[in-house]
Amino acid sequence: MSPAPPVEARGLVKRYGDIVAVDHVDLVVEPADVFGYLGPNGAGKTTSLRMLLGLIRPTAGSARLFGHDPLIDGAKALAGVAGFVEGPRFYPYLSGRRNLELLADYDDPVSRPRIDEVLGLVELRDRAKDRVGGYSHGMRQRLGIAAALLRSPRLLLLDEPTTGLDPAGMRDMRDLVRRLASDGITILLSSHLLYEVEELCNRVAIIRKGRIVYQGALSELPAALLAQPGIDAVESRDGELLFTADEDAVAALTVALGRARIGFTALVPERASLEELFLGMTDGESSDHDRVAEVAV
């Protein structure tokens, strides 16, 4: 029998009165995935993560981490699992190191010797003696990952880890996620930042109004969107997507370009960006299924 996947959710539902925050969500995250959970703010990403961790009880459905249900198995289900939801929390009047020491003593005292190692991984060793209250937002985010790494996790759940960071902080956080993934840690990354998911993740699920509208390999997403009425014979060749379209589909595309006051000399089918695919699946404004590869400026 093959081992249970790091994350498996089946039919997850969460209702708050008449509001359906999560609507029959199915998720499967495989070992060594960097899995992007992508959706607009308020789409149900954080609520889903809270149910996966057993922080809130689902209205219906089930969630399992390495085959264990947090609501049934309790702490056993969280063995090898770490991360943060809605941002990490620390005692601001204590140093970064002291916060990690308290967390280690509370969770697993044998992890104390790892404190220097994890501070080095997140590049906070030089600021470990400073009070957390004086840390920048990005430093607190990195300290949150350091706290998660104390457990030597096999699965790391990160909820919007780059929110509120400046460009340099976002770059540093992405580099850190890449290093952790290269160490074989499975990562479930919740984000509304399209380019972030596109840069980091090999598989993705897009959630819209509480429902999953796509789940699969990132490389398969363009073909999934192009397989719409009027778009046929989608083929991937040498890193490019080729397709045929009926006259109505082509006409709709040229009209959209004209309304946007974009002059063009040729329409060259190519793989759409994740941003265009995401907006198309979530009712955002975008051009038709493909983008223009050459335009006259």
Domain ranges of the chain: 7-217, 227-296
Asked if residue 119 lies in contact with residue 130, where contact means CB atoms within 8 angstroms, the answer is no
Residue 195: its H or E element: helix 194-200
Residue pLDDT, tens place only, 171-217: 888 998 999 999 999 999 998 887 788 888 999 998 888 999 888 88
Nearest to 190 by CA among 27, 73, 76, 1: 27
Q: What is the pLDDT of residue 260?
A: 35
Q: What is the CATH number of domain 7-217?
A: 3.40.50.300
Q: What is the pLDDT of residue 218?
A: 78
Q: What mean pLDDT do residues 225-229 have? A: 48
Summary mean pLDDT of the chain: 81
Q: What mean pLDDT do residues 25-51 have? A: 92
Q: What is the pLDDT of residue 288?
A: 41
Q: What is the pLDDT of residue 263?
A: 37
Distance CA 217, CA 285 (A): 24
Q: Which amino acid is at 208?
A: R
pLDDT at 250 exceeding the cut of 50: yes
Q: What is the pLDDT of residue 48?
A: 95
Helices (H), 89-185: 96-107, 115-121, 137-149, 167-182
Which of residues 197 and 236 earns the better pLDDT score? 197
Q: What mean pLDDT do residues 230-234 have? A: 55
Helix (H, G, I), strand (E, B) or coil at 49: helix
Q: What is the pLDDT of residue 256?
A: 39
Q: What is the DSSP letter of 90?
A: -
Look at the alpha carbons of 261, 267, 268, 270 in this order and tell me if their dihedral is positive or negative: positive
Q: What is the pLDDT of residue 262?
A: 36
pLDDT at 280 exceeding the cut of 80: no
How far CA 275 is from CA of 42, 150, 198, in Å, comes to: 18, 35, 9
Helix/strand/coil (H/E/C) assignment for every residue in 8-48: EEEEEEEEECCEEEEEEEEEEECCCCEEEEECCCCCCHHHH
